[in-house]
Amino acid sequence: MPLPQRSKADTISALLKAPWVTAVIAVALLLGALLNPANAPQPVLGWYVDSGLKTLEWDNYLSWLRFNGRGELAGQLEQQLASGDSHAYSAALLSPSFVKDSDLRARDFWSATQIEKWKALRQQTQDQLAASNLYRWGLPDSSPRPARFFTSPFAGGSLWLTALTVFLLVPMAFPLERQLGHGRVLTLWLLGCLLAGAGYLLVARSGQLPFHGAVAPLMVWYGAFLGLQGWRTSLPVWLPGKARTSISLPTPALAAMPLVLLGLLAWQAQPAIANLAAGVLALVGGTLLIQLMRPAEPSVNTETATPADPQDQQALQWGWDALAQLQADAASDAFQQVLDRQPDHFDALTGLFNARRMNQDSNGWIDIAHRLFAHPASEKGQAQQVVGCWQQFRQQQGAKLPSSVGWHLVTTLTRAGEFAQAETLAVSLDHHDTRKPALQALRDALHREGLGHRAKALEV
């Protein structure tokens, strides 16, 4: 039974499954940080000074603040200007209340000629804002137009920090978009922009830099990924010259990545507290939103479900802790205790698989691998874990398996969506009673994926 060659249709199908929503947005964010770094003087602020509008109204604006009980803000703006930060002028430039009050009381402090000049310059303000990249794409805190929440992430920010955030997101993007689908991932991004903008506005004050940059909104995808995981997380890894494999890590350890990025954001961006609030709200919001957006899981019959045994749970915890400390023998003993009571316990099988591999117990490892590959692995996430174990086993021991084990593994690989691996394994197996249902399941899956030509090549 020859293995069919990868066709153009297969390639298109694989591309459609790729995390292209994440990829397109990531590339656009990097280009935004590269082409619009937002660290040059803003044209509208230069115009505010050069046109004479600053001469007419700046002192009046500071007096207006103090008269309205906002003397502390007036002092802060003066300190900003003294430090060379011309964005302080945006507090007056973008204050509709000040403009309205000045229009009513203009005769109190301007001559008729000055009033006409002030009104003419104020009429030019919107055109000047439109010509200023950061203020056009960003989000001035005194003018929170909703559309700017979605464009501000593409307005500059630190290029190196944006690139680091995108790079660390790469191994998460594949499982996240594969599990949620393109639509949910895009929706998460849009909601993340709103959450980040809202977090910024919670603590930003007038005269500060408008919200911009990609790091804070990207936190929503980090939060969503962490919210989908259990106690342990498997991440895909690509090594040069080797097949794709996966590594298993405690999920709390992965939480360190977004926390470090948030710390770097607070150190790099100004104002620090406002940007940190934007990132934290997006991260927490992503973790909570995913609980509402996650795909529906198969219902479990509560009448037949077996409650977890506290003794087994404790033994499993000891086993994983021992593995983390590279104590293979102690881990093996802990997992074996669980298997003595429940021979088909999936977590204990995977734990013992890793422990014996670490201990270089070849015969014991092969035996436990066969038991793991013959496991139904029908609960959520189990098939993907078996795929990772199979890739490790195949690299060290080759692909030869007993038919009674191999056909069960073909079914598991099919359930995990690893159709090419399932087809390759099927070619190497002899006939067995489980062959027909395994091939039928693989053929049905290929038909659903639009790969009918490959399904026809499989003889049931």
Pair (329, 209) in one structural domain: no
Tell whether 286 and 334 lie within a shared domain: no
How many domains are there within the chain? Answer: 3
The answer as to whether 262 is a domain residue is yes
User: Where do we find the tokens 């990772």?
Assistant: 388
Q: Residue 10 is encoded by which pair of tokens?
A: 């297969």
For the stretch 199-241, pLDDT in tens is: 998 888 777 788 889 999 999 999 999 888 766 666 666 655 5
In a domain, 137, yes or no: no
390 located within any domain: yes
pLDDT digits (tens, 9 = 90+) for 106-133: 888 899 999 999 999 999 998 898 888 7
Residue 350 to residue 372: CA distance in whole angstroms: 7
243 vs 259: CA distance, rounded Å: 31
Ramachandran angles phi, psi of 233, nearest 5°:
-130, 135
| Beta pairing class for 245-250 and 232-237 | antiparallel
Indicate whether 173 belongs to any domain: yes
112 with 257, same domain: the answer is no
**Does residue 230 sit in the same domain as residue 178?**
yes
342 with 379, same domain: the answer is yes
Query: How many C-beta atoms lie closer than 10 Å to residue 374's C-beta?
Result: 20
**Encoded tokens for 90:** 């945006």
Least confident range of 33-42, 91-100, 153-162, 361-370: 33-42
What digits encode the pLDDT tens for the residues 244-301? Answer: 556 667 777 888 899 999 999 999 887 889 999 999 999 999 999 998 887 655 444 4
Q: Are residues 262 and 389 in the same domain?
A: no
User: Are residue 222 and residue 104 in the same domain, yes or no?
Assistant: no
Statement to judge: residues 27 and 174 lie in one domain: yes
Q: Which domain holds residue 395?
A: 310-456
What's the confidence (pLDDT) of residue 14? 53
Task: Please report whether residue 259 resides in a domain.
Answer: yes
Residue 305 lies in a domain: no
118 and 180 in one domain?
A: no
Residue 236, helix vs strand vs coil? strand
Identify any residues that bridge with 325 across adjacent strands, giving them in sequence order.
none
Region 306-335 average pLDDT: 79
Domain contains 145: no
Rounded mean pLDDT of 90-95? 88
Query: What does the DSSP 8-state code read for residue 108?
Result: G
28 and 165, same domain (yes or no): yes
- pLDDT value at 415 more than 70: yes
CATH number, domain with residue 438: 1.25.40
Residue 277 lies in a domain: yes
* Residue position matching structure tokens 């505010």: 48
Question: Quick one: 164 and 74 in the same domain?
Answer: no
What's the mean pLDDT when you consider all of the chain? 82
Same domain? For 163 and 282 the reply is yes
